[in-house]
């Protein structure tokens, strides 16, 4: 049974005091929560403090690099994050791909490095608006999923979470319909099954990320292959984020989950 993961991606938002206040509010909601996992992926300067302040939350990085040390200005290595007590990271977010030129190969290298250092990576895949309009969504997603799992053994693959984020929906207020999201999530699971078998694919969580908010969370989370959400804007508002967490709890006992 896959437990829901509700994860907030704060991106480059909040000053330190604001971030601490928000983390404390979410931590208070997470105390004694057994039905779902709740996480926040915070700006790098806040990682250590947020982790110490939030023992009931998953606190993760927004990026990671594949080298352990060296002349890579601005990058953060797996051992550095580990020394801060961090064991979760986002990889391949669409903004990293679009703004910083990350390729599918880069995403795979980061994923492999993260897994070798016992991280739990949330790896993002998704199509652009033009790709969607050309009806190549499944082709694009299939390629990205196969690339991210390239040369990753089965015992490591089960530690990966995949996040489907239709690029055209991020920060636009638009969202895929529940049926559209389910179609892509089911396709992702089918690919993982073809790579590793049903046992592994049944363990891998697939999150939806694309303008998730309190008003649409229930309809998305009710889908069979939607195992949680990677939330951007709504995660910066404690009431909205906690509302989505509460929604997940209310439908966590779906048959087949």
- The residues, any chain, with a CB within 8 Å of residue 102's CB and separated by 6 or more, are 92, 96
Which one of 3.20.20.70, 3.30.2310.20, 3.30.420.40, 3.40.50.1970 gives the CATH number of domain 5-250? 3.20.20.70
185 is catalytic: no
Residue of 93, 102, 182, 185 marked active site: 93
Q: Under a CB-based contact definition with an 8 Å cutoff, are residues 22 and 106 in contact?
A: no
Both tokens of residue 32?
């004694």
The pLDDT value given to residue 86: 98
pLDDT digits (tens, 9 = 90+) for 53-104: 999 999 999 999 999 999 999 999 999 999 999 999 999 999 999 999 999 9
- Gap between the Cα atoms of 51 and 59, Å rounded: 6
Q: How many Cα atoms occupy the beta-carbon half-sphere of 225 within 13 Å?
A: 20
pLDDT digits (tens, 9 = 90+) for 156-184: 999 999 999 999 887 677 778 999 999 99
239 is catalytic: no
The pLDDT value given to residue 63: 99
pLDDT digits (tens, 9 = 90+) for 191-248: 999 999 999 999 999 999 988 999 999 999 999 999 999 999 999 999 999 999 999 9
Both tokens of residue 144?
């990205």
pLDDT band with cut points at 50, 70 and 90 for residue 257: very low
Residue of 102, 165, 182, 185 marked active site: 165
254 pLDDT more than 60: no
Domain ranges in the chain are 5-250
């Amino acid at each position: 049974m896959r437990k829901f993961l509700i994860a907030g991606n704060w991106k480059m938002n909040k000053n330190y005091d604001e971030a601490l206040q928000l983390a404390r509010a979410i931590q208070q909601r997470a105390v004694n929560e057994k039905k779902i996992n709740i996480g926040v992926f915070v700006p790098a300067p806040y990682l250590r403090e947020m982790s110490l302040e939030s023992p009931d939350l998953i606190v993760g990085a927004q990026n990671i690099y594949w080298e352990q040390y060296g002349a890579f200005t601005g990058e953060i290595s797996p051992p550095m994050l580990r020394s801060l007590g961090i064991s979760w990271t986002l990889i391949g977010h669409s903004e990293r791909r679009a703004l910083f030129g990350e390729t599918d190969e880069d995403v795979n290298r980061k994923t492999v490095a993260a897994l070798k250092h016992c991280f739990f990576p949330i790896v993002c895949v998704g199509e652009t608006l033009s790709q969607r309009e050309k009806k190549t969504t499944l082709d694009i997603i299939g390629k990205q999923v196969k690339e991210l799992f390239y040369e990753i053994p089965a015992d490591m693959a089960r530690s990966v979470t995949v996040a489907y984020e239709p690029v055209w929906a991020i920060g636009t207020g638009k969202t895929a319909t529940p049926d559209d999201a389910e179609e892509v999530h089911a396709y992702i699971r089918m690919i993982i099954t073809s790579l590793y078998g049903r046992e592994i694919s049944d363990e891998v969580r697939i999150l939806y990320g694309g303008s998730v908010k309190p008003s649409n969370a229930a309809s998305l989370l009710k889908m069979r292959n939607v195992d949680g959400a990677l939330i951007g804007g709504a995660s910066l508002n404690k009431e909205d984020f906690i509302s989505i967490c509460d929604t997940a709890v209310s439908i966590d006992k779906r048959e087949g989950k």
